[in-house]
A and B are shown apart, each in its own frame.
Chain A
Amino acid sequence: MNGWLFAIVQTLCVVFFAPFMAGLVKWMKCKLQNRQGPPPWQPYRNLLKLSRKQVVLADTASFVFRIAPYVVFSVTIVAVSVVPVISVQLPTAALADVIVLVGFLSLARFFLSLAGMDVGTSFGGMGSSREVTISSLAEPALLMAFFTLAMNASSTNVSTVIAHLSQGSLILYPSLIFSSLGLILVAIAETGRIPIDNPATHLELTMIHEAMILEYSGRHLALMEWAAMLKLTLYSLLIVNLIVPLGVALTLRPGDLLLGAVSVSCKLLLLALFLAVVETAQAKMRLFRAPQYLGLAFILSLLGMMSHIILEVR
């Protein structure tokens, strides 16, 4: 029972922390680019403002457009709830393993893309078309990377995988290196960051995620924005806890939990800095360069799996 309570509290913490993570990346990026920049808590203000505003709905919008924000947001919450953040003693992780997690993200994307098609403007269709194209290339790479880690731990349960990785010795397996690189590349693409998508622009020729949610307003828009921030946090958590499982608590003792919380915050901070540096140093790619980028991610993940099977199993 303790575990379930812990899972709920942890999920709520992540949900309410997500806007800060997104704001932090933006703030760091602005500082690196010598700009003033909004404070890291600006996204909270935006979300609050949006949730109070009246919803203006396009007259061509159907029920899909109206349920999509709720579906996307609640599916992302459930996805967050199965990822160990501070401790691996997470009962919810047994409900949905890593394949189900990928399935949740796909389900959210399915509704997001449908919402883009719903109003019948060309922006929405453009965004949906690009989103499904990019994610259909990213998803195999993501699954391959997860499978390599899962085969390593001989379990697809995220908690078990992280526990296995954190208990293992610090020998660097080639499979882990390859699949971590693949995972990072996919995460950048899937969360709509530079060089695949630019979260800061509304230029119609370049946007993907923003194009799909262009018709949203009020609380619907707040949910969509929040879900995107949550997705960024989710991928960040997966990256930091799977690649550097150092400090993740193996029990539910208060001391371990505190250590876990401190370590995961530090890791997230570093990752946010890394993301800000990458986004400052890189320019956005042309859309048709994206397949090469994602092809690289897929090859890396596949190499990870091959090297696991050929080098490490026997």
Chain B
Amino acid sequence: MLVRLSFIFLGVSGIAAAWGGALALLTVATEQAGLPLGLPWRQVLLHIDPLSGFFLFIVGTITSITACYGPNYIKEHIGGPQPPGTLTFFTGLFVAAMLFVLLATDAFSFMVAWEIMSVSSYFLVVFEHHKAENRSAAFLYLLMAVIGGAIILLAYGVLAAFGGSFSFYAMATAQLSPTWATIAFLLAFVGFGMKAGIVPLHVWLPQAHPVAPSHVSALMSGVMLKVAVYGFIRFVWDLLGGILWQWGVLVLLIGAASAVLGVLYALMQHDLKRLLAYHSVENIGIIYIGLGLSMIFSATGHTGIAAVALIAALYHCLNHALFKSLLFLGAGAVLQQSHHHDMENMGGLVRRMPVTAICFLIGCISICALPPFNGFVSEWLIFQAALQGTVLKSGILGAMIPVASAMLALTSALAIACFVKVYGVIFLGRPRSRQAAEAQEVSFGMKSAQVILALCCLGFGIFPTWTVIAISTIPEQLLGTGLAKAAGNSWLWLTPIDKQTASYGAPSVLLGLLVSWLIVFFFLHPLKRDNRIRIAPAWDCGFGPLTPRMQYTAASFSMPIRRIFSFVWCIFEKTEPAQPGRGPRYFIKISDWSWLVFYIPIGKLLLQIAQRTSRIQGGNLRVYLAYSFFTLLFLLWVIV
């Protein structure tokens, strides 16, 4: 009962946040309020403008939809080893902290909220802490969150030193030299990038997101990463200002690398939720490609195109929140029913769980950026912005942008490969395990959350013009230019630059598809003929019954891609020949290069340093007193 009540509160707060955010975005309102919280001489100020309103809308929408999903999903934890109260309490705290981050208007309250967000989500990740892998994943997450938080603090420190205060107003007016501005930018890029999960700072993401309960994974992947993107946009566009094109190039390249590597790593995963987590890395990469383009164009004075790129990035934030939450909720439904994390044990779920299967299919189409769903619109906008690269004078930039758009094209093509694998192995074919064969459709609340998200994916794909007009208040606020011409024509057409350059009529495309479908259907089903279908076993080449083990598996499906791009992964492959009593065996382990190249050396170095420094730890009290004494002397010397 208490659990249900907590989810009702969560849903109501989500709706309130979404409502407030949408109002701020649509009416271009800027509101402030003081809160009697925190230190006596520093009142906590809250501030809402179109940028934070847009992200509030994302957080609120996804929160309220997951609140429909949660009560039935966590039923299995009631009476389990961990009390569900922990889960509901920290979920509430987590959402509250995210909302507070979006509303904070000074670095002090921003950082407090940011750290609460990290810590509360740590408790959600570690919820099932009786499993050792969850503990280590959660520790990695906490470690990265702490380091990232410290780096963001340094970035704010630079701005505060020049602005003279922690308030965002003072920071926005601070005058920085290009060197200091670049230092602040790099710190913010790394700090927020750590939370957003750009390559190579993404390693915590595929570890931590899968082990949390699914509705929390949806919140973390769909929403928390967007809060990091919000922080980055707020810092660079609003507070720092004076963007240099070199920053844009860095963001563009890292974004392209994240997109391609994210999807390639995802292709090799067999754990459904881990695969989805790697796709978050990919989508964050796509968002960063849009942001990088926007930075390059605004730094070179083409604010109109910069606005298109920024809108594309923001639109992709919204889209990713919708379809990634949908996919994580679908994954949760599948896990709850099949009790397997590994895709190789699933199969044939489309017949057992039809509603989940249809919603998941819509999520797959959306994330693959296929028309007429929402993911396509934002990638289309990014391509349109990239195609304007010829306006740039510099040859390097002119060459960089097409390469980035080629990477984006490769990413979306590989994403299709990946989701054909996911959908084909999990939902289609024959069940590969007893649990998959006995799966049942999930309860009404869980279904309805998925259906709402699927409808949102369709809606934001078919009516992109209204969405773009609504979002274009943000570039008006940050860059001084909106998209006047997007609304110039009717709502049927999306024309980001102008009518001659490019147009996309999403509603008419959908109409055309449906009409041609109907014509073909009636053409092939004449009334006077018997159109019945005969059901028969699949053709087995005359060799006896087909078994589920004869199907293509996830590993065999992605094998050609594994072979072509084999330099991307660190692959360990071993075949054992058949022995008496058992058949041949095949082992494969695919790991992430960034672990081997960055993290393991850094970890070793840290251990070595720790061992060296442990020598000064003698255990003798007098020696420690001497340390304190000399430190005190040193500090006095420094100050005086």
**Residue ranges of A at the interface with B (Cβ–Cβ < 8 Å):** 51-52, 54-64, 70-71, 73-75, 77-78, 81, 92, 94-97, 99-100, 103-104, 106-107, 109-110, 113-114, 116-122, 124-126, 128-130, 132-133, 135-140, 143-144, 147, 150-151, 154-157, 160, 214-215, 219, 222-223, 287-288, 291, 298, 302, 305-306, 309-310, 313-314
Q: Of the candidates A64, A151, A215, which one forms a contact with B350 in the assembled complex, judged by CB atoms under 8 Å apart?
A: A64
Residue of B nearest to A121 (CB): B538
Q: Contact: A62 with B428, CB < 8 Å?
A: yes
Q: Contact: B493 with A120, CB < 8 Å?
A: no
Instruction: Assess A110 versus B420: contact at CB under 8 Å? Given A78-B513, A97-B503, A306-B399.
Output: yes
A117 / chain B contacts, CB cutoff of 8 Å: 420, 423-425, 428-429, 552
Q: Of the candidates B419, B536, B548, B551, which one forms a contact with A58 in the assembled complex, judged by CB atoms under 8 Å apart?
A: B536
Nearest first, the 7 A-B pairs at minimum CB distance are A125-B552, A117-B424, A120-B429, A139-B413, A58-B538, A132-B417, A136-B413
Q: Contact: A128 with B424, CB < 8 Å?
A: yes
Would you give 29 A-B contacts (Cβ < 8 Å), ordered by A?
Answer: A54-B533, A56-B534, A57-B534, A58-B536, A58-B538, A64-B350, A74-B516, A78-B509, A92-B512, A94-B505, A99-B380, A104-B371, A107-B371, A117-B423, A117-B428, A118-B428, A121-B546, A125-B424, A125-B552, A128-B420, A132-B416, A136-B416, A143-B406, A144-B409, A147-B402, A156-B384, A214-B539, A223-B524, A314-B393
Which of B212-220, B235-243, B558-566 interfaces with chain A?
B558-566
A130 / chain B contacts, CB cutoff of 8 Å: 560
Q: Contact: A156 with B551, CB < 8 Å?
A: no
Q: Contact: A81 with B512, CB < 8 Å?
A: yes
Q: Contact: A135 with B413, CB < 8 Å?
A: yes
Q: Contact: B402 with A144, CB < 8 Å?
A: yes
Which of B117-125, B196-204, B361-369, B582-590 interfaces with chain A?
B361-369
**Residue ranges of B at the interface with A (Cβ–Cβ < 8 Å):** 347-348, 350-351, 354, 357, 361, 365, 368-371, 376, 380, 383-384, 387, 389-390, 393, 395, 398-399, 402-403, 405-406, 409-410, 412-414, 416-417, 419-421, 423-425, 427-430, 493, 499-505, 508-509, 512-513, 516-517, 520-521, 524, 529-530, 532-540, 546, 548, 550-552, 556-561, 563-564
A119 / chain B contacts, CB cutoff of 8 Å: 429, 538
Q: Contact: B406 with A140, CB < 8 Å?
A: yes
Q: Contact: B516 with A100, CB < 8 Å?
A: no
Q: Contact: A150 with B389, CB < 8 Å?
A: no
Q: Of the candidates A77, A78, A114, A132, which one forms a contact with B428 in the assembled complex, judged by CB atoms under 8 Å apart?
A: A114
How far apart are A141's CB and chain B's nearest CB, in angstroms?
9
B403 / chain A contacts, CB cutoff of 8 Å: 302
Instruction: Assess A309 versus B395: contact at CB under 8 Å? Given A62-B351, A133-B560.
Output: yes
Q: Contact: B550 with A121, CB < 8 Å?
A: yes
Q: How far is the CA of A140 from the CA of B424 in the complex (A)?
A: 24
A-B contact count (CB 8 A): 251
B395 / chain A contacts, CB cutoff of 8 Å: 309-310
B371 / chain A contacts, CB cutoff of 8 Å: 96, 100, 103-104, 107
B423 / chain A contacts, CB cutoff of 8 Å: 114, 117
Instruction: Assess A95 versus B509: contact at CB under 8 Å? Given A107-B370, A114-B420.
Output: yes
Instruction: Assess A106 versus B416: contact at CB under 8 Å? Given A59-B537, A128-B557, A310-B398.
Output: yes
Q: Of the candidates A154, A155, A215, which one forms a contact with B539 in the assembled complex, judged by CB atoms under 8 Å apart?
A: A215
Q: Contact: A154 with B501, CB < 8 Å?
A: yes
